[in-house]
Structure 1
Amino acid sequence: MTEQSFPAMSGTLVEPQPAVAPTPKFWRRTAPALTAAALVAGLFGGVTGAVVASPDGTSAGSSVVAQTVSSSSAPDWSAVASTVLSSVVQVNVGDGLGSGVVLTADGRILTNNHVVAAAGGQVTVTLNDGRQVPATVVATDPASDLAVLQASGVSGLTPVKWADSASVKVGDAVMAIGSPSGLQGTVTTGIVSALDRKVTVPGETRRAQPVSYQAIQTDASINPGNSGGALVNAAGELIGINSAIYSPASSSGEAGSVGIGFAIPSNQAKQIVDRLS
């Protein structure tokens, strides 16, 4: 695979030169004025019809046998959302927010390091049922942009189910779940656009050093606030932690989805979790 670098881009979307890709941006933003939570479920359905002629070589004018071929292979995204939503939380940090996934019934939570890097110890999580509880940062791994939190006074949460990210294929259907712009419980769907995408995010205020990893690329819509949230397969299993997007906006502009998002693969995330826990 050709390793790609991500130089800074201007506020205008331009076509990169060969083997050069644009700069992904982390999604952490100030808390929005919006207060209503929204659930947006992407549903794929319908019947694909096809007329199949009789295989016996019937001549013109003779009766033609036809049949309708239907497809029922589309994922049941409503069922996936119902299964996974309870395993995703909103992470509140001062005037910013992100997302996280539930690791244990007693409140261990995985999120991005850049979501909590400037927390100063002031972290709360909003559970799927609307409860807001305090949380502490247990451990961080800035090099992988992952962090583990512990929510206080909770029990009976639904841990996310892990998938083997090595089995993910380009074109697989996926769902992203998180709190874009504070709209907790938002789900969007898409496909896996590429695998082993070399992503390098330059250092900034919250990160002294650049962060690099081999990412899963997806076109599922993800925006500021989705950081640390779940990217799941059609079985509702975690294949990645949403972490960065490419946006043509300048550094002073607000990043938004253009269909190029990146997630830390679940196998890598699981290794880091096992080490940090």
Structure 2
Amino acid sequence: MQSAGTPRPLRRARRVPVAVAVGGLMVLAAAGCSGGAAASGSTSGGSAAPAPSVSNDLQTDYQNTVKGVLPSVVQITAGASLGSGIVYDTKGDIVTNAHVIGGASSFKVTLANSSTVLDATLIYSYPTNDLAVIKLTSPPSTLKPAVFADSGKVEVGQIVLAMGNPLGLSSSVTQGIVSAVGRTVSEPPSAESPGATIPNMVQTSAAINPGNSGGALVNLSNQVVGINTLAATDSAEGGGQAPGIGFAIPSSTVTSLADQMIKDGKVINSGRAALGITSRTVLTTAGDTTTGAGVVSVISGGPAAQAGLQPGDVITRIGDATVSSSADLSDTLAGLQPGQKVSITYVRDGSTKTTTVTLGTL
């Protein structure tokens, strides 16, 4: 049994193979037949059951938000796979997850309010933060860009809706709350992406399923607070999805990086800290079985080089944080800021040393 303190593994709410989406529709059709047979049974006296009582104000808020934002959420076909995206501006720019587009450079896009399939091309993909921007070749005049919120104002307990195309079911909506903010989450590598460590993610209880990736997490003010990206999986259930634990890249990160991709064709400033090295998990040479982040290469003139770090060094600590793997190094750096000075503990030729590094930008 998994203990309460054991972190759950994660999986992307990734793009969905078309064959899976079709299969999902077939399953739903079968379930609909079964459910229809049960529903046809008569109630006592043949009278219809009364409509459930709900808060008219809250229901109206839900309906208005769906009507207001869903036209800004699109379906993206990349090769044989499906995912979601969000209309960013009237020029045809669409923001999505990098793992949704994979290695493709051309795409088919379907708007929520149209069955017409539109062509799109890649502007830039930034797997480091699992974000990408694509652009419609001939954007229609009816495009409705989404409004992005200041994610710094997102609060735990806030009602949110997740919009996208889970399992290829276009324009689907699920609801939940913001469960936590400021999560640092590591994505596993896959065929679509090398993986990434993403800071400040929004955790939500809204259901996020394969195909939701790149879609919108929305508040009831009709604003996007994040891009649906990951769902947790439960190792105790054989890797099945853990209900109610999903993650979205915060909207302020989305707008900062998307603006750079659109303007400059790349990310100029990620706002994230870096050492200027490549690393891999290795054993130290200190005579025990301690592991750390081994320095494979050092960027000339970068922060690590200026602090005297060399290939072959094994980083075991940053400040007070223990570093026992390359993933630990990424997770720790994700919580730091460019320009910040930190103490680095490392092992070189069996001896433990320390140095101070002024962090650069990823």
TM range (shorter): 0.7 to 0.9
1:228 aligns with 2:214: yes
Report how many aligned residue pairs link the two structures: 232
Q: What residue in structure 2 maps to residue 194 of structure 1?
A: 180
More strand by share: 2
1:126 aligns with 2:106: no
| Aligned equivalents of 1:45, 1:178: Cα separation in 2 | 28
Quick one: distance in 1 between partners of 2:53 and 2:136? 38
Does residue 1:29 correspond to 2:29, yes or no? no
- Paired amino acid for 1:184: S
1:34-49 → structure 2 map (5 Å cutoff)? 46=54
Superimposed CA distance per residue, residues 28-49 of structure 1 (whole angstroms, 9 cap, x where no aligned partner) = 221121569x9xxxxx9735xx
Distance 1:45 1:233, change over 3 A: farther
1:155 to 140, 146, 165: 140
**Greater RCO structure (CA 8 Å; 6+ sep):** 1
Equivalent residue, structure 2, for 1:174: 160
Q: Contact between 2:83 and 2:211, CA under 8 Å: does it hold in 1? A: yes
Which residue of the other structure, out of 97, 110, 130, is the alignment partner of 2:95? 110
Return 204-213 or 99-108, whichever deviates more: 204-213
Alignment of 1:1-277 (within 5 A): 14-16=1-3, 18=5, 20-26=6-12, 27-31=14-18, 32-33=21-22, 46=54, 72=57, 76-119=61-104, 121-128=105-112, 129-156=114-141, 157-248=143-234, 256=241, 258-277=243-262
Structure 1 residue 251: deviation in Å? Answer: 12
Q: What does residue 292 of structure 2 align with?
A: none
Q: For residues 259 and 17 of structure 1, what CA distance do their matches in structure 2 show?
A: 15
Give runs of ≥4 in structure 1 deviating > 6 Å.
249-253
> What is the Cα-based RMSD across aligned positions, in Å?
2.5
Deviation at 1:73, TM superposition (A): 5.8
One-letter identity of the residue aligned with 2:97: N
Larger radius of gyration: 2
Gaps of 5+ in 2: 29-51, 263-362
1:212 Cα deviation after fit? 2.5
TM-score (norm 2): 0.59
Identity, % of aligned positions: 36
Say which SS state the counterpart of residue 258 (structure 1) adopts: strand
- Name the one with the larger helix percent: 2
